[in-house]
Amino acid sequence: MGGTIYLHESKAKRSYFGGTVLSYEIVEVPEKAHAQRIMFRIQSTAEAKDKEWRGANHGRAWTGGVLP
């Protein structure tokens, strides 16, 4: 908590939304193949928008991971 999350439509596009993580909760969605999900509560910030993708960058990467 307290870190920043950035949301991208793809690795080639800059972030369209993001902000500071206030809290998170693990939720169950039994009708989905991967039933456990993480729901984040964030405070939107202008600084978290329009950022380039960072972190894992191989073809199948869907998350950049936790970055310093």
| Average confidence (pLDDT) over 15-40 | 92
Average pLDDT, the chain: 92
pLDDT confidence of 38, banded at 50, 70, 90? Answer: very high
Encoded tokens for 23: 């809290």
Q: Is residue 57 part of a domain?
A: no
pLDDT confidence of 62, banded at 50, 70, 90? Answer: confident
Residue 18 pLDDT > 80, yes or no? yes
The number of distinct structural domains making up the chain is 1
Q: Is residue 21 part of a domain?
A: yes
Q: Is residue 19 part of a domain?
A: yes
Q: Is residue 29 part of a domain?
A: yes
Domain membership of residue 40 as a residue range: 4-48
Q: Is residue 63 part of a domain?
A: no
When computed from its CA atoms, the radius of gyration of the chain, rounded to whole angstroms, is 13
Would the pTM count as exceeding 0.85?
Answer: no
Q: Is residue 10 part of a domain?
A: yes
Q: Is residue 41 part of a domain?
A: yes
Q: Kindly state the DSSP code that residue 5 receives in the 8-state scheme.
A: E
Q: Is residue 43 part of a domain?
A: yes
Residue 35 pLDDT > 80, yes or no? yes
Strand order in the sheet with 36-44: 4-7, 17-28, 36-44
Judged by phi (left if over 0) then psi (alpha if -120 to 50, else beta), residue 24 lies in beta
